[in-house]
A = this chain, B = another copy of it.
Amino acid sequence: MPMQTLQVALAERSYPIHIGEGLLDVAALFLPYLAGGRVAVITDSNVAPLYMARVKNLLEAADVTVIEVVVPAGEGSKSWRILDEVLDQLLAAHCDRDTLILALGGGVIGDLAGFAAAIYQRGVSFLQVPTTLLAQVDSSVGGKTAINHTRGKNMIGAFYQPRAVIIDVEVLRSLPERELRAGLAEVIKHGLILDPEFTVWLEQNIENLVARDPRALIHAIKRSCELKAQVVGDDEREGGVRAILNFGHTFGHAIETGMGYGNWLHGEAVAAGMMMAAELSARAGMLAFEDVRRVQGLIERAGLPAAGPALSAERYFELMATDKKAAQGRPRFVLLKAIGHACLRSDLDESWIRASIASRSAKTG
């Protein structure tokens, strides 16, 4: 069984990310965090029937009391009410400060359980066991946890680092095709903004990733996490350079909001958003148009949309004005100087932005 380990180094402490096949059965990876004798496994109603029993058996074999906390699947669980219910279950089960919280699931579970860990008795240890490709490459690094508020997504939360992240690529076999492809959008993003060689590797291996080849997945996840860790290590609390991780996200968030959350998956919206941002980079004279075609080729071969929905440029501007990353109301864009090199720009000609949106949107009937 091949396993790769990567150390995420942060100011306060560092933690390992283990990536491999079948890691959900490797007790040795979990043992260092079980001294408290009590583990609360937080998962959702989709993941529980697939993996709860397996994780529970593994932990109980190590003589640990397991508390099962299952919340409804879906973004709706990132709410004040569900968080209260989770905390209430932890207290009812007499979880003390030495309890370990294990987040078993996708991004919603990572965000919810990570935030619960951050505030339960002023912070308890937690492990991330992400079960979607998106969570594996995106939430494993950065320590962002949050819930939503009726007035905005991710408005309440904390920066809180896990003790370790355990990524078993085998669980991706149960992931719906569309979600796998959506996860690849973030992998591609990490290559495009930070690593020309990894982008070439992706161009050579994208079909293997879509086919869920374990070795290809392990490499892609590891390199993605490494690249993100470099950026986050330089900017843990999101002051500056970390913003380049938002490549494709300014347009992407507009698509998600404009179409209603959940109609476009996050990765699909980011893919179309990256095409718009690449187009804009070329129109701003920074990127060669042949590199825009390389971006498009990769996105299309991953089975992701290379164009946004039929929304007007006006609607994009409306939606982007409320984006919390806007600097003084002016949208700031992450652009490409070259494949593998991103930069920030907030001084762009509005006509370029309009033209980039128009040329990369589905045509209105």
In the complex, are the beta carbons of A122 and B144 less than 8 A apart?
A: yes
Q: Least Cβ distance of A155 to chain B in Å?
A: 6
Interface magnitude class on chain A: 20 to 34
In the complex, are the beta carbons of A87 and B156 less than 8 A apart?
A: yes
Q: Least Cβ distance of A197 to chain B in Å?
A: 33
Q: Least Cβ distance of A125 to chain B in Å?
A: 11
In the complex, are the beta carbons of A158 and B84 less than 8 A apart?
A: no
In the complex, are the beta carbons of B237 and A151 less than 8 A apart?
A: no
In the complex, are the beta carbons of A149 and B91 less than 8 A apart?
A: yes
For the complex, give the distance between the alpha carbons of A151 and B84 in Å.
Answer: 12
- Chain B residues whose CB sits within 8 angstroms of the CB of A158 once the complex forms: 118-119, 122-123, 158
A157 CB-CB contact with B under 8 Å: yes
In the complex, are the beta carbons of A120 and B156 less than 8 A apart?
A: yes
A61-82 interface with B by 8 A CB criterion: 80
**CB closest chain-B residue, reference A151:** B91
Given known A-B contacts A84-B80, A91-B151, A119 and B122 have beta carbons under 8 A apart: no
**CB closest chain-B residue, reference A237:** B123
**CB closest chain-B residue, reference A116:** B156
For the complex, give the distance between the alpha carbons of A122 and B96 in Å.
Answer: 24
**CB closest chain-B residue, reference A157:** B122
A177 CB-CB contact with B under 8 Å: no
A349 CB-CB contact with B under 8 Å: no
A245 CB-CB contact with B under 8 Å: no
For the complex, give the distance between the alpha carbons of A237 and B149 in Å.
Answer: 29
A363 CB-CB contact with B under 8 Å: no
A315 CB-CB contact with B under 8 Å: no
- Identify which of B119, B156, B324 contacts A157 (C-beta below 8 A): B119
**CB closest chain-B residue, reference A324:** B96
A106-161 interface with B by 8 A CB criterion: 115, 118-123, 144-146, 149, 151-152, 154-159
Closest 6 CB pairs of A and B: A91-B151, A122-B157, A119-B156, A122-B159, A122-B158, A119-B158
